[in-house]
Amino acid sequence: MRWSQTLIPTMKETPEGAEIPSHVLMLRAGMINQLMAGAYTYLPLGYRSLRKAEAIIREEMDKAGAVEVHMPAITPISLWEQTGRVEAFGDVLIKFDVRRQGKKVPMALGPTHEEIITDLVKKFVSSYRQLPLTLYQIQTKFRNEERPRFGVLRTSEFLMKDAYSFDSTVEGLNASYDKMYAAYCKIFERCGLDYLAVEAESGPIGGDASHEFMCITPNGEDTVVYDPKSKYAANVERAEIGKRNVAKSSVEPKPLTKLHTPNVGSIEAVSKFLKCKPHQMLKTLIYSADDRPIAVLIRGDHEANENKVRRAVGAKKLALADNETVEKITGAPVGFAGPVGLKVAVPIWADEDVAGMANCIIGANEGDHHYVGANLDRDFKVDHFADLRNAAEGDPSPRSDAKLEVRKTVEIGHVFKLGTKYSDAMGAKFLDDKEQQHTIIMGCYGIGVNRILASLIETKSDANGIVWPMSISPYEVIVSSVNAADAEVAAASDKLYAELQALGVDVLYDDRDQRPGVKFKDADLIGVPLRVVVGGRGLKEGNLELKWRTKEAAEMIPLAGAAEAVAKLVAAERAKYK
RNA sequence: CGGGGCGUAGCUCAGCCUGGCUAGAGCGUCUGGUUUGGGACCAGAAGGUCGCAUGUUCGAAUCAUGUCGCCCCGACCA
């Protein structure tokens, strides 16, 4: 492609509102244009990269035995009602009515396609002989994000590869899952991404039913913990904490004293008011576990993990109790709860670290009052100790003697053993070889295609712009003619461009009548891995200049046979991402 | 949905607090010329409902109220 004949609106300045590298650089490189919050047009350069990521995904899905389909983005609301996900999604689901022959037809834009695919499979699959089956599509998804942000990382419309496996046995599901897991590893490797497969929260199914594929970057919205020694990695929502050596504190117990703490309910406010550290405080959370209240004690600087609490107490549903319940149990407004002197006796659960605390600061179960010097056993009792909090930096690893590290990440893929949640709700069944009817066992597997691009830019760019891996770069080679007005230069670069095209190289030809500096800056900005400069300086010696985007120095190659030499380099580079 | 910020030329921004000449600059665009290896130079030109509405005032980009849009922090995220 000739630069002069396409649309690559590069920008020297950073547009207002763009802050993180991927957003800034995608805008500056002329890859995308914002239409409104959470919706972007992919311009020629951006769309080429997106399609390259898509192509890799498609290849690996096909290799893994998945079969491509294409489902509608518009869906009847009735499907979502069958599984109760109209409520579950809430405002995230984009709902609308369409008039047809004077009647309103309620619809929704697909935010994901479990219901649609299950409906499809229910219609056409009825025998174990037809299983296993894995179907996938690459399709635009719609989710009304409350707050779209971070450029292309969090949008209301995005491209997703979603695959769904259907099996007759749990072993079959495990095999389908493993195949997808392996395909995902291959896909992200081929995209040149440094990724981490982490154990993810899998809801009531539990076990190893879910993994997320994460890209580590400070601008990520997810948090994972990682043990460099055992390679254990998990989402904080899920992460186990290793054996904690919680020794009873040897500090001399102080008397329990009530203090007036006006208008300071939060941990932060109390620690500021009493000039103490959050880890000296004990927070008391009143939860409603299957509609029965419980108290949960967590050290002030830790975060409660509701999934852990839910599993520990053996509840199906768990949520923070409403204000009314809290006031009834503690006799105080929210923010002043404590384990000493609760008005209503409820089971008290505590995180393991609480056992090592002494002279805690706790709410006094009285508005605007706290106790200091509260001590376990003397002042209050705990019914059960368990791991109830999120893992934190420096916690012991559950798999080795190393300490856990905490990292921010972007989720680029997710594999999930669904079980029979949707097939049950929608009645997707099959007959086995004994003519017995069973519910089909499902798995679902998603990849955020746009996020592959954004994550690459987040992690691989430099001060001059994007640094693409050859597999995702919109073009493999850029030919920059320096002084395009010079007839000799123009002829030589035209020829090289034509030859590279004939050799099957994806080449962008910067034929603009621009000064060299402009062309070099733009080439760096858009991040094409290999740059070939055709200029008077080299031509005099019969040479062309080659420069890799990742390298500082350029090298000269002879003009004669240059196209073949470049094609060979491209082939070698391509091979790294196969 | 809570908190904060910003809307002036295609882009980045100044002007606003303290109302008053014809609303500015840089970049980009167009014309002509000189240039040509890391965002050139000279001369000229086009380009604006100052987000929108209402109000205050002799007079509003500037003050007030409302509204819309965008960005950031938090909550939420199958």
* A:546-565 Cβ neighbours of strand B under 7 Å: 547, 554
Task: Give pLDDT < 50 ranges for chain A.
Answer: none
* A:238-277 Cβ neighbours of strand B under 7 Å: none
Domain boundary among A386, A415, A440: A386
Q: Among all strands, which nt has the closest C1' to A480 (CA)?
A: B37
For residues A270-298, one letter each, b for 16 or more C-beta atoms within 10 angstroms of the residue's C-beta and e for the rest, the string is: bbeebeeebebbbbbbbbbbeeebbbbbb
Any strand B atom closer than 7 Å to A35 CB: no
User: A290 CB contacts (<8 Å, ≥6 apart)?
Assistant: A315, A316, A317, A318
CB atoms within 10 A of CB A170: 11
Burial of A70 (0-12, 13-18, 19+ CB in 10 A): exposed
Residues A335 and A440 in one domain: no
Residue A207 lies in a domain: yes
For residue A338, give its domain range. Answer: 257-386
Q: Among all strands, which nt has the closest C1' to A153 (CA)?
A: B77
Domain boundary among A354, A386, A418: A386
Residues A142 and A173 in one domain: yes
Any strand B atom closer than 7 Å to A12 CB: yes
Q: Among all strands, which nt has the closest C1' to A520 (CA)?
A: B38
Residues A59 and A121 in one domain: yes
Residues A262 and A232 in one domain: no
Tell me, in Å, how far CA of A344 is from C1' of B36?
84
**A421's tokens:** 């949640």
Residue A462 lies in a domain: no
Residue A399 lies in a domain: no
Residue A252 lies in a domain: no
Residues A133 and A212 in one domain: yes
Q: What's the full length of chain A, in residues?
A: 578
Residues A202 and A290 in one domain: no
Residues A11 and A46 in one domain: yes
Residues A176 and A221 in one domain: yes
The per-residue pLDDT for A497 is 98
Q: Which nucleotides of B are covered by protein (CB under 7 A)?
A: 1-2, 5-6, 11-13, 26-28, 35-40, 69-78
Any strand B atom closer than 7 Å to A527 CB: no
Residues A135 and A29 in one domain: yes
Residue A495 lies in a domain: yes
Residue A150 lies in a domain: yes
Residues A83 and A126 in one domain: no
Residue A164 lies in a domain: yes
Residue A198 lies in a domain: yes
User: Is the backbone peptide bond immediately before A132 cis, with ω within 30 degrees of 0?
Assistant: yes
Helix (H, G, I), strand (E, B) or coil at A145: coil
The per-residue pLDDT for A269 is 77
Distance of alpha carbon A396 from its chain centroid, rounded? 25
The per-residue pLDDT for A267 is 79
The per-residue pLDDT for A105 is 95
Tell me, in Å, how far CA of A295 is from C1' of B30?
73
Residues A197 and A294 in one domain: no
CATH of the domain at A278: 3.90.960.10
Q: Which residues pair with A413 in a beta bridge?
A: A213, A447
Number of domains in chain A: 4
Q: Among all strands, which nt has the closest C1' to A162 (CA)?
A: B78
Tell me, in Å, how far CA of A531 is from C1' of B34?
30
Any strand B atom closer than 7 Å to A482 CB: yes
Residues A425 and A570 in one domain: no
A286/A367 Cα distance (integer angstroms): 16
Give the sign of the dihedral formed by CA A61, CA A64, CA A69, CA A74.
negative
In this structure, are residues A501 and A563 in contact, taking their beta carbons and an 8 Å threshold? no
The per-residue pLDDT for A389 is 93
CA-based nearest residue to A407, from A460, A459, A466, A468: A459
The per-residue pLDDT for A206 is 54
Helix (H, G, I), strand (E, B) or coil at A227: coil
pLDDT digits (tens, 9 = 90+) for A520-577: 999 999 999 999 999 999 999 999 999 999 999 999 999 999 999 999 999 999 999 9
Any strand B atom closer than 7 Å to A537 CB: yes
Any strand B atom closer than 7 Å to A446 CB: yes
Residue A573 is which amino acid? Answer: E
CATH of the domain at A482: 3.40.50.800
Tell me, in Å, how far CA of A147 is from C1' of B3?
14
The per-residue pLDDT for A322 is 82
Tell me, in Å, how far CA of A192 is from C1' of B72?
31
A320/A442 Cα distance (integer angstroms): 32
pLDDT digits (tens, 9 = 90+) for A193-246: 999 999 998 765 555 689 999 999 999 999 999 999 999 999 998 899 999 888
